[in-house]
Amino acid sequence: MSKARAAAPRSVHRCSTCGAEHPKWSGQCSACGEWNTLAEVRVAGAGSIASMAPTVAGAESAPVPITDLLDEPTTAVATGMAELDRVLGGGLVPGSVTLLGGEPGVGKSTVVLQLLAAQAGGGADCLYVTGEESAAQVAARAKRLGAVSGRLRLLAEASLPRILTVLADQRPSLCVVDSIQTMTDPASPSAPGSVTQVRDCANLLVQAAKTLGVTVVLVGHVTKEGSLAGPRVLEHVVDTVLNLDGDRQGELRVLRALKHRFGSTQEIGLLSMGPSGLESVADPSAHFLADRRRGLPGSVVLPALEGRRGILVEVQALANKRQLPHPRRSTQGLDGGRLELLMAVIQQQERLNTNDIDVYALVVGGVKVSEPAADLALCAAILSSYYGRPCPDDVVLCGEVGLGGELRRVSMMAQRLNEAARHGFRRALVPASSAVDHPEMEVVKVAHLCDALGDLGL
Whether residue 67 lies inside any domain: the answer is: no
B/e letters for 432-445, b = 16+ CB within 10 Å, e = fewer, are: bebebebeebeebb
Closest by alpha carbon to 346, among 429, 450, 430?
450
Last residue of a domain, one of 267, 282, 297: 282
Indicate if the pLDDT at residue 76 is higher than 60.
yes
Tell me the pLDDT band of 8, cut-offs 50, 70 and 90. low
Tell me the pLDDT band of 50, cut-offs 50, 70 and 90. very low
Whether residue 4 lies inside any domain: the answer is: no
Rounded to an integer, the average pLDDT of 18-39 is 83
Query: 297 and 276 in one domain?
Result: no
Query: 265 and 278 in one domain?
Result: yes
Query: 249 and 139 in one domain?
Result: yes
Strand partners, 219: 100, 178
Tell me the pLDDT band of 365, cut-offs 50, 70 and 90. confident
Closest by alpha carbon to 312, among 406, 395, 235, 241?
395
Closest by alpha carbon to 444, among 454, 453, 47, 455?
455
pLDDT reported for residue 391 = 95
Query: 312 and 192 in one domain?
Result: no
Query: 293 and 261 in one domain?
Result: no
Whether residue 156 lies inside any domain: the answer is: yes
pLDDT reported for residue 308 = 79
Whether residue 187 lies inside any domain: the answer is: yes
* CATH number, residue 148: 3.40.50.300
Query: Out of 9-23, 119-133, 207-221, 344-358, which region has the weakest mean confidence (pLDDT)?
Result: 9-23
Give the model confidence (pLDDT) of 277-318 as tens digits. Answer: 899 988 999 999 999 999 999 999 999 998 778 999 999 999
Helices (H), 24-183: 82-88, 108-121, 135-145, 160-170
| Domain interval for residue 411 | 287-455
pLDDT reported for residue 43 = 63
Question: How many domains, in total, are found in the chain?
Answer: 3
Q: How far apart are CA 401 and CA 62, in angstroms?
A: 57
Tell me the pLDDT band of 225, cut-offs 50, 70 and 90. low
Indicate if the pLDDT at residue 56 is higher than 70.
no
pLDDT reported for residue 72 = 64
Whether residue 124 lies inside any domain: the answer is: yes
Last residue of a domain, one of 282, 316, 339: 282
Query: 338 and 231 in one domain?
Result: no
Query: 329 and 299 in one domain?
Result: yes
pTM equals 0.77
Query: 353 and 207 in one domain?
Result: no
Whether residue 309 lies inside any domain: the answer is: yes
Query: 223 and 83 in one domain?
Result: yes
Neighbours of 170 (CB within 10 A): 14
Tell me the pLDDT band of 73, cut-offs 50, 70 and 90. low
Checking DSSP bridges between strand 240-245 and strand 252-260, what pairing results, if any? antiparallel
Whether residue 53 lies inside any domain: the answer is: no
Give the C-alpha distances (Å, rounded to integers) separating 351 from 103, 345, 346: 44, 9, 7
